Amino acid sequence: MFLVNIRAFFAFYPRTIAKVPSMNAPMTELAAPAALRVLFEKQRLRAAAQAQTTAEQRVEKLKKLLDYLMVHQEEARQATYADLRKPAAETTLGEIYVLTSEIKYTIKHLPRWMKPQRVPTPLSALGTSGYVQYEAKGNALIMAPWNYPINLALKPLVSAVAAGCVAVVKPSELTPHSSAFVRKVIEAVFAEEEVAVVEGDAAVAQALLELPFNHIFFTGSPAIGKIVMKAAAEHLASVTLELGGKSPAIVDETADLRATARTLAWGKYLNNGQTCIAPDYVLVHNSVKDKLVDELKGAIGAMYDPEGRGMMASENYARIVNQNHFERLQRYLDDALNQGAVVAVGGQSTPADRYLQPTVLTHVTERMKVMQEEIFGPILPVLTYQTPTEAVDYVNARPKPLALYVHSRRAARADYFLKNISAGNALVNEVLTQFGHHELPFGGVNNSGIGKSNGFYGFQEFSNPKGVVKRKFGTLRFLYPPYTERQQRILGWLVKYL
């Protein structure tokens, strides 16, 4: 059943040749499983030694990775432009800066993270000392998506290297230029027994998931996340699933609507809406809905058509990744319009260019696909609410989102939404910045994800926090069999007082 399911979910992916570093001839899809097992075993034999590397040795690798990225920034920008027509500034911010800052932060703090963490000794463990020692999980698999194809392939790798793991990285075949760049980076920095890149389609992903990795880090949709988790269960492998869902933006009647509109427009239309933490829909108080929509229209125009030449001519607006995704979004839009939605902003498209104008929809209902599926594109539905409780109930009636965005100038109101809505992360009067905040855990909850990343949380995800106890003095022999009435009294005292 697993084999059938994963093929079904990836059925629309274009077929590509699978590649493993240092192999002279490209392997066919038929040969891929055997070649991948050879690579896996090569890394498995290296894993124990890799786990024993020092902080200095790991930092050296991270510095080498950082140096390569700093020198080859323009190549990265060209790759993402070729795949997504991503503006250079968006690549610098969303692909390079987030990644290089994560590397710098990890380099600074890794020696401290790797040190044994002392813990207090409870009275019941008198005579012992205890600490937590972080050890590498071992063989890691990193499966990256196409929307931020460099960042989301290499940022988890930073955590894996910091933890002392060996890793296989599978970038997305939907962004071939960026995937090729990722391969060049990794081949320049790492030996393949430490880190290797495997490129390919669904069959390659399937073959990788059949291998007994110790940890799998997957970024993608909840539907495929379930498949990854099922595959991991076959080997009792741990998983980090960074998924998505419909992240709401709640705007109350006190919000600064002009500032809110600019913030939402940036967060929604960055990378053409192809961002897992983009606001997926807006819940706005009905008394300020019209004003917010007007401000959104102005913000969109100021960002993508300041000279009035038309948004399609903008150099600041990316494109949909491929024709399949463009057609999916067009179906969502057509479905909404056929059921009575109104285009308040945008709505125009050019299929040949995979261009879909930044769009805002009103008069949206639950029956429409834009409210049933994660949009992952430049369409923003706007709904209204009357009371804070109504907004909370609306969000909580659906799967827990990856992000919650609250816009309000009333602190108590913002706190009400934060306390009553469960989400992977929550931001007030801000969007997107949680992903690059090294001190905060990033990730979802239930349907929107399992596990966390960023800084120490990413290091921890690829590590086993091993609890260690050392006996310094004393003994527990007085509790060994044969059991006597005296021991029963001692145990009764422990239960009562400790």
Closest to 356 measured CA to CA, from 446, 228, 422, 269 = 269
CA distances from 288 to 67, 129, 296, 383 (A): 49, 60, 12, 11
Q: Is-contact 87 144, C-beta < 8 A?
A: no
Side-chain-side CA neighbours of residue 245 (13 Å): 27
Catalytic residue among 192, 193, 199, 276: 276
What is the layout of strands, in order, in the sheet containing 359-362? 342-345, 359-362, 379-385, 281-285, 248-251, 403-407, 425-428
68, burial (CB in 10 Å: exposed 0-12, middle 13-18, buried 19+): middle
Residues 257 and 299: their CA atoms lie apart, in Å, by: 11
Determine whether 242 is an active site residue.
Answer: yes
Cα-flanking dihedrals φ and ψ of residue 468, to 5°? -120, 130
CA distances from 443 to 3, 400, 427 (A): 27, 12, 13
Residues 230 and 209: their CA atoms lie apart, in Å, by: 10
Determine whether 194 is an active site residue.
Answer: no
Cα-flanking dihedrals φ and ψ of residue 237, to 5°? -80, 145
Closest to 400 measured CA to CA, from 286, 284, 280, 285 = 280
Within 222-380, residue ranges assigned H as helices are: 222-233, 257-269, 289-304, 323-338
* Separation of CA 27 from chain center: 30
In 97-201 the beta strands, taken as DSSP E runs, fall at: 117-119, 128-136, 139-143, 166-170, 195-197
Catalytic residue among 242, 295, 374, 461: 242
- Which of the residues are catalytic? 242, 276
